[in-house]
Structure 1
Amino acid sequence: MMLIKVWPMYLANLYTGIITIEKIMDHTSQADISKFFIAGINYKKTDAAIRGMFAINNDQYANILTIAPESGLHSFFIISTCNRTEIYGFADNVGQLINLLCTQTTGDSETFNRLAYIKNGADAVEHLFEVGAGLDSQILGDYEITGQLKQSIKFAKGYNFINCFLERLVNSVFQSSKMIRNETALSSGTVSVSYAAVEYIKENINLCAGRKILVIGIGKIGRNTCKNLVDYLGTTNITLINRSEEKAAELAAELGLAYAPIEDLAAEIKNADVILVAANAAEPIVLKSHLEGKNTKLVVDLSIPYNVEASAGELPNVSLVNVDALSKINDNTLMKRRAEIPKVKCIIAQNMAGFMDWYMMRKNAPALHAIKSKLVYLYMQHFSDIKGDADKCPVMAAEKKIQKVINGIAGKMREEKQHGCNYIEAINDFIVSVNN
């Protein structure tokens, strides 16, 4: 570094400025990326039964958000789908997030830790970009993850748990996902969990006249499944049952289907030939006793945790299929999607770089503002000592020189952490420019 040619009378101001900058940087460390974690389990190391132990429904999510401040946690969100349960957030250590999550699950934190993947900082950011793109989905490019992520963020935001960092991050992820859908074929075709269920029915059941389909649960996946049944199987012989009868009636009217109240569940199960379950209940709602001694049935459980009693699959008249079995469907569409992965990763890298630039600028903005204010002050003091009147100091004349110094220091601060040194260098550069 060039020898600092500071006017001796301003050394006290220089030292005070360094202390001020360091305090500012300490104050902005609340969104320090080194304290950003993701901990999760997914289909890669766990089956649907294990994932069900750590699935989070809306009531559990609300409980977690309510008790989180007691653990000193204020900025996080949870994604819980048939593929994964993940918690993203700021903490002193990842154990805080895992322990909080497991206060509401049937599985314990010890089991979660043993099976979990944990990422930190930029690695955690990159993981979210890949999840949002569908790169990490059980069915490559599954577009349903975007809607699920939006719902997770909206829920946490309603409880004021989405800070500026998380807001900007998820918006960048959504922007990246949109670019991927528009510029690549990663989500081309019609492969998703809900569509895979329809494909399975098409290949294994002859939907002749009179075959009845029952759909239980019309959340995001249930709704998509209903639409795929109508669009790709060309059938409307479908009855909907949902905990909220109004929602079932609304979708039934939209698609020209029938609906029934939850009280008629046993009777509708008895009459159905194909049963699709996406109820997202904490316990099974389709029981072995509902199916025992009835006609031959195909039962597709799209829920995590399972909403169909496992022992129902032992019945001779029942074929029970879950999400893990459906994900093994492999066709030409998936082959084409795999070929798009390099393009997708380039788009992710581009959007992630933009986010990281924003993060570094936001992190350093208070310090840069303080440096600029100090440079203006020193210039005015220097002018006053020479001319005798600080009020007549031509600050505008030095504005370009000051901004040039700030721009140069901003670039260096993105790559370095020695903020005091940056401050000293800014002072030095500015004094040299004024003297010249």
Structure 2
Amino acid sequence: MKPDWSMKYLAEEKECQGLNDFFVFGINYNKASAEIRGKYAIDTSTAETILNAGSTIDATDLILLSTCNRTEVYGLGNMEVVIQKVSEVIGQPADSFEKYGYKLKAKAAVFHLFKVASGLDSQILGDFEIAGQLKQAAKFSKKFGRLSNLTERLVNFALQASKEVKSKTQLSKGTVSASYAAIELIQEIHPQADSIKILLIGLGLFGENVGKNIRHYLPNARLTVANRTLMKAEMFAHHHRCSYLPFEKVGEVINAYDVVINTAAVEAVLIKPEHVQRNGIAFLDMSVPGGISPDVQQLGCTYYNIDHISAILNKTLAARQAEVPKALDIIQYHIKEFVEWHKVYLQRWLIYRVKDLLFELDCAESTVPKEKKVQNALNHLVVNIKKDPYKGCHVLGAINEYLKN
């Protein structure tokens, strides 16, 4: 039975040609403060609403990346329509992405994705936590049918570049990540930090990293974790030898701790001045939108948000700047690899057509030698080869495969 290549190659050709419609828009730390970024944060529920928008959003692919430093939407389709829909869902004006953010398409969007994945666009240069967050965001989109083979491969190429940048440069030299920044800050505030009591609120990917760093670098600190899903807090406490408590109890117990760290994105402020009954507590609000009121400073407590932490660490990043050219070379190499893959993928329809033709010749001319069949196939496709020598390579590849059978 003749293989049905036609529907497959037409679908793939259409999908790959959509690369010119690849886009990204968003806001990040460059032009927007933590307070503003908080208004554009996309939580799981909001992400589901956007990804379930169907054809009204006019995009086949969507990846929603929302962290403490950025909210970005990657996709294939009509960027302006997607901006309108996303703005409507999050309740912010669409033109704010012009004021506070950026809109990129095609090659510029691809380059931006690679820089983000490799830590070159992080608020803390060389912070590779974003790579894991990008991977999770892509996986989440795939669950909703919003990740085609093209975009998935593009993300995979970007993640491969990220791994090579991390292993072959000194861009991440030292321990200057956002999650480790909390440890350095705690040690600065409390020189005897190894024996203090710490409450960690939120155990998402970032929160888990903060918790693991506390256990690793401050093994004698008395750590308690709280999370919306109590079972997750219980499991973390079991694996990392610490205590846990229900999320709703946080406001009642904060006065028992020396340091309170929030990594949970919440719609309303979680810790307010009325919850604080003593001075000397150090509050680290590492979430966007923030969950701790800055007004706790008026009660004799210290308060830091993600922007403060980034500013403190910037002085240690000079050496990393020297590694940026090496990282860019690696990124350019992997972008070139992706472009080559994309070219081959675009020509799959031609390979399928050659296979179809050879199959037809097999059926119609069973007594004709293979060499004659190959000549007939080349005669049919010589026009395509003359127009584009690159296509000729794929034709010859298909014929070579045929001759091996």
The verdict on a shared fold, with TM-score over 0.5 as the criterion, is yes
2:65, 2:134 within 8 Å by CA — same for their partners in 1?
yes
State the Cα deviation string for residues 170-221 of structure 1 (Å, max 9, x = none). 1111111111122112122211111111111111224368632111111111
Instruction: Please give the residue correspondences for 1:16-55 in structure 2 after superposition, counting only pairs within 5 Å.
Output: 28=14, 31-55=17-41
User: Match of 2:79, as an amino acid?
Assistant: V
Instruction: Please give the residue correspondences for 1:314-325 in structure 2 after superposition, counting only pairs within 5 Å.
Output: 315-325=298-308
2:176, 2:313 within 8 Å by CA — same for their partners in 1?
no
Out of 262, 267, 291, the position equivalent to 1:277 is: 262
User: Match of 1:231, as an amino acid?
Assistant: H
User: Match of 2:295, as an amino acid?
Assistant: S
Distance between the aligned counterparts of 1:144 and 1:193, measured in 2?
Answer: 8
Whether 1:299 aligns to 2:283 is yes
Comparing 332-341 and 161-170, the one that deviates more: 332-341
TM-score by length of 2: 0.86
Distance between the aligned counterparts of 1:344 and 1:402, measured in 2?
Answer: 45
Q: Over aligned residue pairs, what C-alpha RMSD do you find?
A: 3.2
Q: Alpha carbons of 1:410 and 1:259: their partners in 2 closer, same or farther (altered >3 Å)?
A: farther
Instruction: Please give the residue correspondences for 1:218-367 in structure 2 after superposition, counting only pairs within 5 Å.
Output: 218-291=203-276, 293-313=277-297, 315-330=298-313, 334-367=317-350
Whether 1:178 aligns to 2:154 is no
Out of 199, 202, 207, the position equivalent to 2:187 is: 202
Count of aligned pairs between the two proteins: 387
Q: Secondary structure at the match of 1:136?
A: coil
User: Match of 1:191, as an amino acid?
Assistant: V
Out of 28, 42, 57, the position equivalent to 2:43 is: 57
**Structure 2 equivalent of residue 418 of structure 1:** none
TM-score by length of 1: 0.80
Q: Alpha carbons of 1:235 and 1:412: their partners in 2 closer, same or farther (altered >3 Å)?
A: farther
State the Cα deviation string for residues 103-153 of structure 1 (Å, max 9, x = none). 332422122232221111111111111100000000011021111111101
Distance between the aligned counterparts of 1:412 and 1:235, measured in 2?
Answer: 71
**Structure 2 equivalent of residue 73 of structure 1:** 59
Q: Alpha carbons of 1:406 and 1:83: their partners in 2 closer, same or farther (altered >3 Å)?
A: farther
Distance between the aligned counterparts of 2:383 and 2:185, measured in 1?
Answer: 60
Distance between the aligned counterparts of 2:57 and 2:66, measured in 1?
Answer: 21
Distance between the aligned counterparts of 2:273 and 2:114, measured in 1?
Answer: 41
Distance between the aligned counterparts of 1:232 and 1:101, measured in 2?
Answer: 40
Segments of structure 2 that go 5 or more residues without pairing to the other structure are: 1-5, 396-405
Q: Alpha carbons of 1:408 and 1:211: their partners in 2 closer, same or farther (altered >3 Å)?
A: farther
Distance between the aligned counterparts of 1:378 and 1:183, measured in 2?
Answer: 51
Comparing 151-160 and 280-289, the one that deviates more: 280-289
Segments of structure 1 that go 5 or more residues without pairing to the other structure are: 1-19, 382-389, 416-421, 427-436
State the Cα deviation string for residues 43-84 of structure 1 (Å, max 9, x = none). 011111111110101111111111143223221111001111
Q: Secondary structure at the match of 1:156?
A: helix
Q: Which has the larger radius of gyration?
A: 1
